[in-house]
């Protein structure tokens, strides 16, 4: 079989085709792909059956962290099912358990270690069980040392840069004695055509850029995810077109900093250009993206979003602090004044914009005056919602070496911030009562199967009584009640997928006069 070489491009190591890489490995077994894209041996057994020594070996993936981790888990599952593995209903039924981890906050890490400790019991009952740790925590040297010292029942540790090697890594665990640790310090470009077991429904995630070059002093992401690597536009577009053909109606573009998309390609094609091109894909109705860095949110990008039909009006812009002094310590590369002007420009171009943010309280050396400036900025911007966090030191980042504030000071500031933001949340949501909006129905809510969970274009969560069969449908609803984080509504009508009000320029705006119409 012909080998596909690395495809060179400016600023990147190249692009590889997973299908070729996997074929080179699987054919060593004399394996072939069947009609369901499952690798089988000449005797009919799957690769998984051969490696595990039993029919239909099962897997379980536990995921912590952001949408990037959730997307990685879909890819991990896709690889396992191409090998012939099946999802396990319960942990006890699994032959392979993977813990896909997050390193952004200490609480998430401790939950992972607690889970590893719990899984020791399963490993003792079933010595053939393969237990693996992957994701961002695996990229940290301290994590690897801790696993090797205290958790010898872990069989496999691999990181974010060699996710595509999962089948080969499982084979190594079966072949070698002791724990297999294979963590790459950097990625070898971008791997395309990865298999995926996507979540059901009509919403899909699409990676467009990996890594981050911003090096905020509190953030471990450049260490765990590496430097920025953009996928080629044609590969992203082809994936979205495929999703549309498969019936998906909403895509969320993913990256640590989506606004940096294309800078490393050197072809004069940026994130605004990508959005404009994806806006033309038939079948996709709503386009979301996360996460944006305020420093790279250009006037061109604002204009493109305002002019698009499918890119939604939800702007998530992490400010982190309202103090210029703290922003400098954080290495955020913008000022309070720059950020506020950016908010003004967004609201001038997109009057019905929903703006949310991330805020860290208790950053090292943050004074009471610094914190008050953050409260002032929150009151001035009036975010629709804010994700608020107590600063958590991450080993290997500059801020972790600085003097830390007392825990009680951090907690007290967090509570004051939440009190201010929750009041704004409720007040803004109450303005929507009596108005009408278009929503995409996700399915039954977690708490009540008789109530459906739905999202507006501006990403407001709306709970609507209805039939579970409506999942995946667009609908027009009237907002009947507002709470701090959710809205309640009643169904007015289910809409066809090509209804004009689904798009931006025909929608019932959640803040405009059109929302009052019959």
* Phi and psi, residue 372, nearest 5°: -60, -35
E strands in 4-103: 15-17, 32-33, 39-40, 58-63, 86-87, 96-101
Q: Is the pLDDT of residue 3 over 70?
A: no
Structure tokens at 293: 């860095």
- Confidence at residue 27, expressed as pLDDT on a 0 to 100 scale: 82
Q: How much is the mean pLDDT over the chain?
A: 93
DSSP H stretches of helix in 233-366: 233-245, 271-278, 299-307, 324-330, 336-349
Q: List, for residues 301-336, the tens digit of each pLDDT value.
A: 999 999 999 999 999 999 999 999 999 999 999 999
CA distances from 274 to 15, 33, 297, 436 (A): 19, 34, 14, 31
E strands in 64-120: 86-87, 96-101
In 3D, which of 515, 15, 61 has the Cα closest to residue 238? 15
- Confidence at residue 513, expressed as pLDDT on a 0 to 100 scale: 33
E strands in 67-196: 86-87, 96-101, 130-135, 156-158, 180-182, 190-192
Q: Is the pLDDT of residue 235 over 80?
A: yes
Interacting residues of 500 by C-beta distance below 8 A, sequence separation 6+: 506
Structure tokens at 103: 């390193």
Mean pLDDT across the stretch 25-30? Answer: 84
Pairing of strands 96-101, 58-63: parallel
Do 25 and 37 meet the contact criterion of CB atoms below 8 Å apart?
no
- Confidence at residue 26, expressed as pLDDT on a 0 to 100 scale: 86
- Rounded distance, CA 213 to CA 445, Å? 38
Q: List, for residues 240-266, the tens digit of each pLDDT value.
A: 999 999 999 999 999 999 999 999 999
CA distances from 150 to 118, 120, 135, 142, 200 (A): 13, 11, 19, 12, 38
Do 142 and 149 meet the contact criterion of CB atoms below 8 Å apart?
no
Q: Is the pLDDT of residue 12 over 60?
A: no
Coil, helix or strand at residue 154: coil
Q: List, for residues 472-505, the tens digit of each pLDDT value.
A: 999 999 999 999 999 999 999 999 998 998 998 7
- Confidence at residue 2, expressed as pLDDT on a 0 to 100 scale: 28
In 3D, which of 444, 510, 513, 440 has the Cα closest to residue 478? 510
pLDDT band at 508 (very low <50, low <70, confident <90, very high): very low
Quote the radius of gyration of the chain (alpha carbons, Å). Answer: 24
Coil, helix or strand at residue 232: coil
Q: List, for residues 331-387, the tens digit of each pLDDT value.
A: 999 999 999 999 999 999 999 999 999 999 999 999 999 999 999 999 999 999 999
CA distances from 183 to 10, 61, 132, 158, 207 (A): 26, 19, 12, 5, 21
- Confidence at residue 507, expressed as pLDDT on a 0 to 100 scale: 52
Do 80 and 48 meet the contact criterion of CB atoms below 8 Å apart?
yes
């Amino acid at each position: 079989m012909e080998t596909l070489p690395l495809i060179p491009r400016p600023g990147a190591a190249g692009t590889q085709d997973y299908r070729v890489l996997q074929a080179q490995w699987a054919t060593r077994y004399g394996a072939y792909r069947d009609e369901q894209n499952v690798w089988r041996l000449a005797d009919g057994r799957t690769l998984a059956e051969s490696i595990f020594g039993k029919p239909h070996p099962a897997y379980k993936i536990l995921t912590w962290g952001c949408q990037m981790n959730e997307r990685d888990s879909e890819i991990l599952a896709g690889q396992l099912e191409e090998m012939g593995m099946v999802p396990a209903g319960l942990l006890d039924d699994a032959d392979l358990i993977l813990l896909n981890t997050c390193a952004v906050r200490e609480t998430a890490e401790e939950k992972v270690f607690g889970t590893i400790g719990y899984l020791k019991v399963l490993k003792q009952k079933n010595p053939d069980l393969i237990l693996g740790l992957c994701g961002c925590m695996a990229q940290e040297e301290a994590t690897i040392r801790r696993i090797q010292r205290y958790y010898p029942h872990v069989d496999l540790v691999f990181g974010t840069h060699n996710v595509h090697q999962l089948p080969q890594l499982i084979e190594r665990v079966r072949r070698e004695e002791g724990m297999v640790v294979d963590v790459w310090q950097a990625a070898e470009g971008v791997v395309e055509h990865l298999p995926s077991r996507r979540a059901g429904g009509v919403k899909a995630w699409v990676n467009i850029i990996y890594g981050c070059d911003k090096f905020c002093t509190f953030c471990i992401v450049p260490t765990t995810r590496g430097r920025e690597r953009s996928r080629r536009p044609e590969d992203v577009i082809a994936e979205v077109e495929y999703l549309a053909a498969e019936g998906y109606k909403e895509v969320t573009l993913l990256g640590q900093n989506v606004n940096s998309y294309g800078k490393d390609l050197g072809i004069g094609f940026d994130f605004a250009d990508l959005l404009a091109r994806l806006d033309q894909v038939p079948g996709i109705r709503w386009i979301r993206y996360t996460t944006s860095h305020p420093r790279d949110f250009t006037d061109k990008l604002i204009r493109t979003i305002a002019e698009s039909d499918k890119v939604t009006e939800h702007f998530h812009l992490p400010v982190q602090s309202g103090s210029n002094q703290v922003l400098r310590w954080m290495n955020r590369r913008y000022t309070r004044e720059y950020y506020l002007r950016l908010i003004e420009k967004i609201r001038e171009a997109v009057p019905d914009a929903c703006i949310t943010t991330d805020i860290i309280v208790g950053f090292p050396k943050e004074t009471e005056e610094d914190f008050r400036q953050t409260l002032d900025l929150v009151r001035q911007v009036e975010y629709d919602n804010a994700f608020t966090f107590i600063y958590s030191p991450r080993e290997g980042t500059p801020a972790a070496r600085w003097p830390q504030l007392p825990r009680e000071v951090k907690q007290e500031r967090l509570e004051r911030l939440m009190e201010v933001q929750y009041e704004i949340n409720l007040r803004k949501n109450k303005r929507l009562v009596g108005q009408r909006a278009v929503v995409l129905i996700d399915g039954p809510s977690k708490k009540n199967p008789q109530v459906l969970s739905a999202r507006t274009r501006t990403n407001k969560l709306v709970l609507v009584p209805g039939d579970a069969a409506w999942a995946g449908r667009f609908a027009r609803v009237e907002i009947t009640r507002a709470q701090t984080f959710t809205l309640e509504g009643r169904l007015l009508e289910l809409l066809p997928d090509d209804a004009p009000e689904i798009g931006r320029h025909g929608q019932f705006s959640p803040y405009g006069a059109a929302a009052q119409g019959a």
